[in-house]
C-alpha cells in the first residue's frame, strides 16, 4: 500500500497539472474565458455534467492548482481561493449563514475581522458576541439558539494567545455550530485545525503562504458540502484570486516547510533573549515555558511559530523609540515575510478598535510585535538591542 506523503513532499509535488507542453514549472493561465469544442460541450460545462474551465471568475487551472496543493497540506476535502484573506472570511459568512443567525468570535482576532463582524455583518443581521480566546466557558455561555459559527485565530495577533481548538470544536458541535479557524499564523506546516476537530480553515495567503510579501490572496478549506456554499458565493459575487497571484502562491508553498522551521527557530531565539533583557517587561511567545498556554501550544502546534510580541514600560513613546532605533527591521504592518517586520499594534493594526476594546484584548500602548524573518538571528538580536538601548 502507498504510504501517505509528508507535507514537504505535498508542498512541492501536489496540485500540479501540466499542459500539452509538459512544462516543469507550472504554466500561468492569463485568460478571462475558455473556448468550447462545440455548443454541446459548452452546455455540458455550464450544467456541471462535464468538468473543465468556463470563465475565470470561478474556474482557472492555475487557481485550481493552488487550491489542490493547499487542500493537500491542510488535509481538507476542498479549498476555495480568494483575492485576499478578508474576502475569504467574508465568503465564509456569506456562503454559510443568513440574517438572524449568530457568531461567537474570539476577542483577539485581526483588526479588520473585528470590523467586518461588528460593523458590516451586523448591518445585515448577523450578530456577533466576542469572548476570551482562552476561556472555553465564555464560549459556552455565549451560545444562543441561533448560533451557527465559532470563529478564532490561534495563536492570536499580536499577543499570541492560544485557543484550545479541540475543546472549542466540541462545544461548537454540541450547539450545532461550525468552528472556523484562521490558521494564518501557523500554516498547515505547524498546525492542522481540521485534524483537531475544526470544520473550516481560513487563510490570509498574503502572509506565510506567499512568504515574501509580494501578493494578496486568501483561502477557505473544509468538507465538500460546506465548501459548496462558499464556492457559490465566489462564483456569484466574484472576489476571485487572480491567475498571477495564484501562480506566485502555488510556488510559495514549495518552500513553506523550510521557511516555517527557520522563522520558528529565529523567533524562539529572539523571544528567549528578549525575556532576559532588563528593559523588556513581558514577552509573548507560545514557545516559551512562561507563556500561559505553552503546554497547549506545544500539543496542537509543532513550534511556537514566527511571531513574537513584547511590552516595554513607558507606553507609546517608549515603544516608538524602540521601533525607530532599529535599522534592519521593516516598519510595516505585514507579517509572514522573509524580512523581519516590526509593528506598534495599538497605533496601526489595532488602531480602529476603541481604547476599551484594546484594553479588553490586552493590547497595551507599550506593546511591540515582531514578525521574525529569515535574516541571521544575530543581526536581528543586535537590531533589537539597538532599539532597546534607546530607552
Ligand X SMILES: *Cc1c(COP(=O)(O)O)cnc(C)c1O
User: In degrees rounded to 5, what are phi and psi of residue 110?
Assistant: -45, 140
Pick the stretch among 13-21, 138-146, 202-210, 370-378 that binds ligand X (CB under 6 A). Answer: 202-210
145-184 footprint of ligand X as x/- string (CB under 6 A): --------x---x------------------------x-x
Contacts for 199 with CB less than 8 Å, ≥ 6 apart = 169, 172, 178, 179, 180, 222, 223, 226
* Shortest spacing between CB 242 and ligand X, in angstroms: 13
Between 348 and 382, CB nearer to ligand X = 348
* Shortest spacing between CB 390 and ligand X, in angstroms: 28
Between 90 and 283, CB nearer to ligand X = 90
Between 153 and 311, CB nearer to ligand X = 153
User: In degrees rounded to 5, what are phi and psi of residue 138?
Assistant: -65, -35
Is residue 91 a contact partner of residue 149, using CB atoms and an 8 Å limit? no
Choose which of 70, 72, 79, 86 interacts with ligand X (CB under 6 A).
86
Task: List, edge to edge, every strand of the sheet that includes 307-311.
Answer: 282-284, 307-311, 367-371, 341-343, 330-331
- Strand ranges inside 183-275, DSSP E: 200-204, 218-222
Is residue 314 a contact partner of residue 350, using CB atoms and an 8 Å limit? no
* Shortest spacing between CB 81 and ligand X, in angstroms: 12
* N residues, the chain: 391
Site for ligand X in 91-120 (CB under 6 A): 110, 113
Report the C-alpha gap between 208 and 309 in whole angstroms.
17
Between 85 and 373, CB nearer to ligand X = 85
Is residue 153 a contact partner of residue 106, using CB atoms and an 8 Å limit? yes
Considering CB under 6 A, how many residues would be counted as binding ligand X?
A: 14
* Shortest spacing between CB 4 and ligand X, in angstroms: 29
Choose which of 171, 216, 363, 372 interacts with ligand X (CB under 6 A).
216
Between 110 and 150, CB nearer to ligand X = 110
222 binds ligand X (CB under 6 A): no
Cell numbers at residue 75, please? 488535509
* Shortest spacing between CB 346 and ligand X, in angstroms: 16
Q: Which of 361, 335, 278 is nearest to 312 (CA)?
A: 278
In the complex, the residues that contact ligand X under the rule CB under 6 A are 84-86, 110, 113, 153, 157, 182, 184, 204, 206-207, 216, 218
Amino acid at each position: 500500500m502507498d504510504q501517505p506523503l509528508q507535507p514537504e513532499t505535498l508542498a512541492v509535488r501536489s496540485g500540479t497539472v501540466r499542459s500539452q507542453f509538459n512544462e516543469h514549472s507550472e504554466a500561468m493561465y492569463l485568460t478571462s474565458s475558455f473556448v468550447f469544442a462545440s455548443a454541446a460541450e459548452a452546455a455540458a460545462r455550464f450544467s456541471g455534467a462535464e468538468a473543465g474551465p468556463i470563465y475565470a471568475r470561478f474556474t482557472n487551472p492555475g487557481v485550481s492548482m493552488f487550491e489542490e496543493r493547499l487542500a493537500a497540506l491542510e488535509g481538507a476535502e476542498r479549498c476555495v481561493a480568494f483575492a485576499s484573506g478578508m474576502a475569504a472570511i467574508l465568503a465564509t459568512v456569506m456562503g454559510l449563514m443568513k440574517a438572524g443567525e449568530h457568531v461567537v468570535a474570539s476577542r483577539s482576532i485581526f483588526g479588520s475581522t473585528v470590523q467586518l463582524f461588528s460593523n458590516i455583518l451586523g448591518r445585515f443581521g448577523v450578530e456577533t458576541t466576542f469572548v476570551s480566546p482562552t476561556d472555553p466557558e465564555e464560549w459556552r455561555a455565549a451560545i444562543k439558539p441561533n448560533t451557527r459559527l465559532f470563529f478564532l485565530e490561534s495563536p492570536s495577533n499580536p499577543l499570541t494567545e492560544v485557543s484550545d481548538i479541540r475543546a472549542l470544536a466540541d462545544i461548537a458541535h454540541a450547539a450545532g455550530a461550525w468552528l472556523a479557524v484562521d490558521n494564518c499564523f501557523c500554516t498547515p506546516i505547524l498546525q492542522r485545525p481540521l485534524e483537531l476537530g475544526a470544520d473550516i480553515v481560513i487563510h490570509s495567503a498574503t502572509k506565510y503562504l506567499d512568504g515574501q510579501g509580494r501578493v494578496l490572496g486568501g483561502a477557505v478549506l473544509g468538507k465538500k458540502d460546506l465548501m459548496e456554499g462558499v464556492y457559490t458565493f465566489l462564483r456569484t459575487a466574484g472576489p476571485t484570486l487572480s491567475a498571477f497571484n495564484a501562480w506566485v502562491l502555488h510556488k510559495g508553498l514549495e518552500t513553506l516547510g523550510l521557511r516555517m522551521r527557520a522563522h520558528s527557530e529565529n523567533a524562539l531565539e529572539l523571544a528567549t533573549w528578549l525575556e532576559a533583557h532588563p528593559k523588556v517587561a513581558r514577552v509573548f511567545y507560545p514557545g516559551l515555558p512562561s507563556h500561559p498556554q505553552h503546554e497547549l501550544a506545544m500539543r496542537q502546534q509543532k513550534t511556537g511559530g514566527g511571531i513574537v510580541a513584547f511590552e516595554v514600560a513607558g507606553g507609546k513613546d517608549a515603544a516608538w523609540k524602540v521601533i525607530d532605533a532599529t535599522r534592519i527591521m521593516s516598519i510595516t504592518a505585514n507579517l509572514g515575510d522573509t524580512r523581519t517586520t516590526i509593528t506598534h499594534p495599538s497605533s496601526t493594526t489595532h488602531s480602529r478598535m476603541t481604547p476599551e476594546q484594546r484594553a479588553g484584548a490586552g493590547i497595551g500602548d507599550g506593546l511591540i510585535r515582531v514578525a521574525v524573518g529569515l535574516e541571521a538571528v544575530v543581526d536581528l538580536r543586535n537590531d533589537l538591542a539597538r532599539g532597546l538601548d534607546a530607552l
